[in-house]
Structure formats: C-alpha cells, structure tokens
Structure 1
Amino acid sequence: MEFNNVKETGVLIVGAGPSGLALACDLARRGVPALLVEQAAALFPGSRGKGVQPRTREVLDDLGVGDAVRAHGGPAPVGLAWRDGKRQGEHDMFRRSAPTDAEPYGEPWLLPQWRTQEILHARLRELGGEITFSTALTGLDQDADGVTARLSTGAVRAAYLVATDGGRSTVRRALGIPMTGETVDPSPMLVADVRIAEPALDRLNWHLMGGEAGYTAICPLPGTADFQLVSQFKDGEPDTSPEGVRALVAARTHLAAEDVTEVRWASDFRPRAALADRFREGRVFLAGDAAHVHSPAGGQGLNTSVQDAYNLGWKLGQVLRHGAGAGLLDSYEEERRPVAAGVLGMSTRIHRGQQERGAEAQQLGLGYRGGPLSVGRAGALEAGDRAPDGPSGDGRRLFDVFRGPHFTLLTVDTDTELPVAESELVHIHRTGRYEAYGRGIFLVRPDGYIGWAGEDVTGLTGYLARFTR
C-alpha cells in the first residue's frame, strides 16, 4: 500500500497504556514532537495494574500528576482472611513505613489502571498532546534516518518509534524480537471490576478467600465504588460473562450472586514472566509490557513500565532537541533491561510465595550503579543511585527543585566554584549539609538519578558535554 501524504513527527508511540502515556507526557513537556496512536477506540477500561509503588509515585509527581494520584487513590487495605463465611483475622500483605525526608512515600498506593491512564491522558492534553484512537500499526520499515510506519489510517515518518503496545506487541513481532520466559502459574486467573451491594461486603479490607478450587481476593478500589475481583482456577477455565462472574462469587465466597450488582469489566489471563531478548532494533524501542511481562503479584508490571518511559523520554529529548549523540540511546537497554530482569525474578518469587512484598517491591532501591551514564561518587551517594528528596534549604523540597525536564547541579555543604552556568539544560541549586547526600557535588539526571558525583568539579564539564551538541 502506498500513501500520498505521509505525516512526520519526532517520535511515534504505539500503544496508549501507562508507559505510552507517560512517555507522551514526558516528550510533550520537553517540546519533542510526538504522535501517540492506539488501536482501541478508547482507553483500557479495567483495573488490572492497580498498585502504584513509591518510586512510581515520585515519577508521576515529576510528570505533574502527583496531586491527582493522591486525590483519586488510597493506601492498600489490610488483608482479611475468610473461611466458611467467617472472619479469620487480618494479615497485612505489604511493607509499610512512615514517610521520611528522603523517601516521601512509604507504602503502595492503590489506583486502578483505568484511572491512572485517565490522569495521564488529562495531563497530556494540558501539555498540548492527544491520543489518536482506532489506529493500528500494520507494518514498518526503517533506514538510517528514520522509521516509516504503516498505520490503518495512513503513514507516519518518525525519527524514532517506541512500542508500548503490550505483551502481544505487534511491533515486537514485526521486528522478530523473541521473548524468553516461563509460565509462573499453570492455573488461569479471572480478574474483574465489580460492584457489590453494601452491607454484603465492607470496603475496609482486602478480602481473601481460599479453597480447593483456587484462591479468590476481592479488593476495594479507592476513589471508586468498585472492587477488583481476582480468582484462580486450578481446574477449568474462567467464565468472564456477568453471569459467570456472579456464579463464581456465589460459589467461592459467602456472598450471593445478586450481591454483585454490576460487572463492569472482566478478563482472564495466565500468569507469565517473560523478557524480550533485546529492547531495541535500530530506531525502534520496546517499553512496558512489550519488553517484559510480569506476574501481577507484588504490583511490579505497571510500575516498571512507567519507569521504562521515564528513562527513555529524557534521552530522546536530549537527542532530538539538544543535539546529543544518538549513542546516548544505547543506554536505554543497558540500564533498563537488567532492572526488568531483576523485577521479573522478584515478582515470580512473590507469586510463588518464596518472597514477601518487602522493601524491594517499592523500587526505591533500583538504580544504575556501574551503568554507562554513572560516573563517580561523593558523600553518601554513588552515581546511579536515586537522588533522595529532602529540604532544599529555601523552603522547598529537593523534588521541587528537580521537577521538570532539566538536569540539576546540586552542591551540598560546599561552596566550590562551578564551571557551569545556569541554563535551560542545567539548573543549579546550593544547599547546606544533608545526611542523605553528605558533602559533595551531584549532577541529578532529568529522571531523578545521580549521573555524576564528585568532591570537586573534575570531569564535570566533560560529562555534561555528552548530552548536548
């Protein structure tokens, strides 16, 4: 098929899930032309990825949606075990800690996936972007200068293409990139968003029911009137019809079928863990579920996906707007694929009961030490570490100082003269001693990680030169 009119853009994003929307928002605030297309006619309607980990909350705050996430979500309720219709006692499934200066979010935050996507879509519109719905990728070609994508609505020529089109990624298959993985659990599962009449079931707990047929969990979704229902099938196949969902609830819980007043969305899936053999093919990148597929245990999939976008967005911005060499984009796979592999292993262990949902699941400890963009150490931090929050010394928080598409050159407890002037690319901030950093000079990347650190400025200008013309 030939197209007479070919639309041009900087980045074509295929798939308007959480990672695609986060990337579109990040590129929009950087002034990078981008087109976000989605095969479906509307945003995904279900709750599937409902847990937002502390590190992802920091990312969403930087993207400008922290207040909306806070307003529409809530903490995960404590689990309540049931047997034969009787309460057996509470069990907290998550590690919780009080917020600190360095780590302002101490526990997972429940927010149904559809709401997360609505929030990011609203932010994208604020930034001047939009989603092109009912638009499928039918093929692509690439050369040394760009990618030509054939869409169901026409053709697009882009400098780069990013596949955020899910575990069955059309783009990944078109590129012939294999995924290596395993079945985490041979038992299929049903997940559904339901409404349950009160007082049949309270919204104070995450309700947990066992049984020979498989476990069932019913979790209230904050900011909505819905519950998420998850049920395992050791035998047979899930029936996702409203009648099937109601019958399941009646068979496996103390509730009656008529207590389920509405089935808003339902799906079945097989828990699987898989990792793409590579995250890049020329000018095409894989992110989110297109690059890695997780068990839902531990709430890692959506979070890792959003953080893929956060890592890639600023690098595309430096190349397309600030003249950085295209080699910078090599660091995306070098940094994110090891992280994804580690998170996949953790979520599989949690699913199989081999690991608790502890501090590791919060993703605050993930970083890029020893990576291609990590140079030096100073005080309490090494390059590649997450840059901690804390008081900035001028009435703000450090996360307020970092927020935006720029690098931040942060001096802590030192008045060393800097060889860099304040600019659009680099903001400069000086503060007094702070234990989370110690004494030193720290260059904070646009994605909130320490890129360069030192006790003096030796090597700083050479490091920064990698990101501009």
Structure 2
Amino acid sequence: MTQNFTVDVLISGAGAAGLTLAIELARRGVSFRLIEKSNDPFRGSRGKGIQPRTQEVFEDLGILDRIVALGGAYPLQREYRDDGSFSESEAVLGGEPTPAEPYHLPLMVPQFLTEGVMRERLLELGHRPEFGCELIGFEQDEASVTARLTGPSGEKTIQARWLIGADGGRSFVRHALDIGFPGKTLGVRAIVTDVMLTGLERDAWHRFGEGDMQRQIALCPLAGTELFQIQGPIPLEGEIDLSAAGLTTLVAERTGRDDIHVHSVSWASAFTMNARLADHYRLGRVFLVGDAAHTHPPTGGQGLNTSVQDAYNLGWKLAAVAAGAPDALLDSYEEERRPVAAAMLGLATSLLDQLKRGEMRRGREVHQLDIGYPESSIALEKPERRGGLLAGDRAPDAPLTGAAGQPRRLFELFSGAQWTLLGYEVEQVSVLPRDGLHIHRIGRRGDVVDKAGHFRDAYALTPGDWVLVRPDGYVGAIVGLSDALALEAYLANVGLGA
C-alpha cells in the first residue's frame, strides 16, 4: 500500500539549525514544512561568531558573501585596569589563509542578521518559515509521523515521513520522546543584552574586571549594527534589572565610570549556563538537531556553528533516503555528529574556566576545521591509508586551472547538492556517470589541472586514485586504481547506484 504524506519532513524550530536544514531540503526538491511557535523571528545577538568551517558551509549554501557584507572582524580586546589604564590583545588568534583553508578567522555577525540572510535564501528557493505555528503532539509508526499543530487557524494534523526537533534547549520534541539530556549546571549565571549606549568607542571589545566573577563585564560593539552587546556574570539567585536604567547602573558599578549610558535595550536575556548532551539524536523517524541535542556555555562561539553543521550533515542524508537510499544512511547522523558535540561541550567548558581566570584567547581549536568523521560507517579506504588525508576528513580546498585556462577552485566543484568524484592522474573514467554525481579528472589530460601542486599537497594521492567527496564537503571514500568495484558498491549504499 502506498503511503501518502503531507510532506516528507516537518521541521519544528526556525532558528539557525532549522533554517539550514530547510535550505538543504529546498535545494534538493524535498517537500517540507518549517514551523516556529514564536510569532516573530529571534531578534538577539546570542550566537555572533561564525567560525571558518561554517563560513565554508555558508559558501556552499550561497550566502557567505551576504553574511560577510553584514558583519565584520572581531575588534581588539581592551582590558581595563582599576586605575583606568588598559592593555589590548587579539580576541581571536589565527594565521593567514592557505589554499586548503581559505577562511582563517571567525566573523562577527549578530545572530538575528545571520538568520535574516538565511530566511532570504530560503525565500529565493520558494519557501518561508511559518511563524506562530506550534507543534503540540505527535505519534510515529514504522512508516510515518503524525503531528498535531496549532496556530492562528486552529489545530491541524499533518503526516510526514520524518520529524526534526530543531526547537532549542527546552525542546518539546526531546521531552516528548523522553530522551535523556544529562550533563551539569556550571555554576554561572550571566546576562547578555543588545543595547544602544554612549560613552564608549566602537573600536574595541571593552572588558572590565577580568578574572573577578563579581565585577566582570564586557561591552562589545556588534558588527553590522549600532548596538553593543553587554555580557557579564550575575548572582545565581535574585532578580536582575535589564532595563536601560538598570543596565546603566550595573555598568557604572562594575566599570567605576559614570560616563557610559545605556539608552535603549533591543533584546536581553539572563540565563544559567549548562553543559548537556542528548542520549540519542534519533528515535525512529524523529531526529534532534542543534540546541535540542546539545546545550553549552557560549564561550568559544561554538553553539550556532555546531547547530548549523548538524543540519548540514542531516539534510543530504534525508534527501538521499527520500530518493531511495537505504534507511541505514540516517543512522550515520548520530554516529558522526554526537561525538562532535561531546568534544565541543568539553572545549566550551574549558574556555569558561579560562574566562573565570581572566584568560580569554581563542585559537584554531574553535575554528572547527579539524572536525571529521574518520570512524564513520560511511568512510571507505581501499587500500587503507597511513597518514595524510583520510576518508571522513574535511575535504580541503585547492586553486586549480580549468582545461580552458580559467581559474577554478575545488570548493566551486563541490558546491551544490551533488557528490563529487575526483580522479587524480587517471587515464580513463571507470565509474559510470549518474544523477547526483559530478566527475572530474585532475591532471594533464583532465578537465582541471593542478598547476601549482596545491591539490597534490593537500590530498597526497597516488596517480590513479579516486576521491569521492560527500555533499557536505567531507571525504566519503578514497580508492585505488584497482578498487572500482568497491567504489560502485559504496555509491549504491548512499543512493547513487548506476
């Protein structure tokens, strides 16, 4: 009997994770609904750091240039001493861009601007979030999920092949599934607010009382806006006045200055920091992404980035299974992404400890360029490699030259919804063309040429090798000249059978 679905995918939550997933499904032609119980988009700056790996994701989604145009670089940290003198240092540490890693520093973009660009991109693809629409219940069986929604027009029931909980740290979906969310409260309560103020220049991230959790406060000019973000620890108990007058008083108490005046507050939050990780990311036909699956302190700027990359990992897999790939492909989502979140929680907690001591420097460890899935069940090497680039690693970029003489980049070849198969110095293509797979030969007789040797250096292949790059920019398989049959079997398992 044929199952009739209202949509393939119902996404509950239209923040960064839900929007990423929606864009991924939209550009693959998968039917979905993206619902959000709030009546309006999020208007705060909470996730303001866009890490280099997420910049690569945004390039693929077609929004990086817009994001960069709206944001800016992190300013210097200006740390004030009690006598009014100060020292300055880099807030983020990073080297120069390389051919393999074209983006090397985090961007500062307030979350509401990032999500605004994502909604614009989604609209270009013919879709928009449904605000004021709330998921209030669901049931699932082996074939589908039946969900109950409520909104301005009342209560409705829809049927979907899959339900995605992208609904934040207090996730209704996670609670309804009774999935454990173990972890710990970190003993820090803090405020983060977006304000208009006078008395400070916009050329620095102003920090006072570093290392003193009773007096610490930071005021950061938000790139792309006229706003400042105020951050600081507050007592674990009691009310906190987040009005303009209350914040002016708090700033004066902690800075010892009476010339800084908060004139208006556009968004404010007081929260207790937690580090928690869901026991499972999947239960049947229901998945968790983003903060619904992991919550963490904001130190290190990892949260929004990890959430975006969760959805980026899951989106192409849902589309592949919707098109006929084996359902087991979806099991690789939790297998790959949950260990990443566990490591991210450890990093963010460590950075919080540094912040308490007045030490706040962010280096390569927060850039997320070293994240990979070498232990994944969908990582194939034949023969097994020793060192260098491995199956499951992030696929590096490299500047190349097209056979017609024009410059090309590997990331341009990867861009889009397809898999990409690269043959290095191969004499002939031994894999049959098929829908969803782009094939390129790199070498003297190929359609692209590695004139400067950047591809050779980054990929360390032997002539005759093939590299299969997944739609999310990770290496799926590396196979030698004599292993074409293994590559064909791999392609069939991910829905790309000839």
TM over 0.5: yes
Hey, what does 1:12 align to over in structure 2? 10
* Match runs of 1:365-380 below 5 Å: 365-376=370-381, 380=388
Q: Deviations over 1:5-31 (max 9, x none)?
A: x98101000000100000000100000
Confirm or deny that 1:360 pairs with 2:365: yes
Hey, what does 2:446 align to over in structure 1? none
Contact 1:279 1:333 in 2 (8 A): yes
Hey, what does 2:96 align to over in structure 1? 98
Q: Secondary structure at the match of 1:249?
A: helix
Equivalent in 273, 276, 280 of residue 278 of structure 1: 280
Hey, what does 1:464 align to over in structure 2? 491
CA distance in 1, matches of 2:260, 2:220: 18
Per the alignment, do residues 421 and 70 of structure 1 end up closer, same or farther by CA in structure 2, a change over 3 Å counting? Answer: farther
Hey, what does 1:147 align to over in structure 2? 145
CA distance in 1, matches of 2:5, 2:441: 45
Amino acid at match of 2:255: T
Post-superposition offset of 1:254: 4.8
Post-superposition offset of 1:235: 6.0
Q: How many residues matched? A: 459
Contact 1:246 1:257 in 2 (8 A): no
Hey, what does 1:62 align to over in structure 2? 60
Amino acid at match of 2:431: V
Confirm or deny that 1:30 pairs with 2:28: yes
Amino acid at match of 2:157: A
CA distance in 2, matches of 1:221, 1:423: 47
Q: Secondary structure at the match of 1:188?
A: strand
Amino acid at match of 2:489: G
Equivalent in 396, 412, 415 of residue 388 of structure 1: 396
CA distance in 1, matches of 2:188, 2:167: 25
Which consecutive residues of structure 1, in runs of 5 or more, have no partner in the other structure? 1-5
Confirm or deny that 1:77 pairs with 2:61: no
Equivalent in 471, 479, 483 of residue 454 of structure 1: 479
Contact 2:191 2:233 in 1 (8 A): yes
* Match runs of 1:68-467 below 5 Å: 68-84=66-82, 86-153=84-151, 154-184=156-186, 186-197=187-198, 200-210=199-209, 211=212, 213-234=214-235, 236-237=237-238, 238-256=240-258, 259-321=261-323, 323-353=324-354, 357-376=362-381, 380-394=388-402, 395-412=407-424, 414-431=425-442, 432=450, 433=453, 434=455, 435-439=457-461, 440-456=465-481, 458=483, 459-467=486-494
CA distance in 2, matches of 1:404, 1:72: 23
Post-superposition offset of 1:97: 1.4
CA distance in 2, matches of 1:113, 1:19: 12
CA distance in 1, matches of 2:131, 2:392: 37
Q: Secondary structure at the match of 1:160?
A: strand
Per the alignment, do residues 84 and 33 of structure 1 end up closer, same or farther by CA in structure 2, a change over 3 Å counting? Answer: same
Q: Secondary structure at the match of 2:400?
A: coil
Per the alignment, do residues 272 and 257 of structure 1 end up closer, same or farther by CA in structure 2, a change over 3 Å counting? Answer: farther
CA distance in 2, matches of 1:235, 1:215: 15
Hey, what does 1:3 align to over in structure 2? none
Contact 1:441 1:457 in 2 (8 A): no
Q: Secondary structure at the match of 2:397?
A: coil
Post-superposition offset of 1:400: 0.8
Amino acid at match of 1:424: D
Pick which of 100-109 and 389-398 moved more.
389-398
Hey, what does 2:447 align to over in structure 1? none
Q: Deviations over 1:316-346 (max 9, x none)?
A: 010112x101111011001111111111111
CA distance in 2, matches of 1:411, 1:68: 33
Pick which of 236-245 and 330-339 moved more.
236-245
Post-superposition offset of 1:260: 1.6
CA distance in 2, matches of 1:59, 1:214: 38
Amino acid at match of 2:417: P
Amino acid at match of 2:71: G
CA distance in 1, matches of 2:30, 2:471: 15
Post-superposition offset of 1:356: 5.1
CA distance in 2, matches of 1:202, 1:219: 10
Post-superposition offset of 1:36: 0.2
Contact 1:45 1:265 in 2 (8 A): yes
Per the alignment, do residues 220 and 428 of structure 1 end up closer, same or farther by CA in structure 2, a change over 3 Å counting? Answer: same
CA distance in 2, matches of 1:78, 1:161: 43
CA distance in 2, matches of 1:97, 1:368: 25
Hey, what does 1:42 align to over in structure 2? 40
Amino acid at match of 1:357: R
Find runs of 4+ consecutive structure 1 residues off by over 6 angstroms: none
Post-superposition offset of 1:424: 3.2
Contact 2:70 2:109 in 1 (8 A): yes
Q: Secondary structure at the match of 2:170?
A: coil
Q: Deviations over 1:169-190 (max 9, x none)?
A: 0110011011011122x13101
Pick which of 203-212 and 344-353 moved more.
203-212
CA distance in 1, matches of 2:346, 2:178: 24
Contact 1:80 1:90 in 2 (8 A): yes
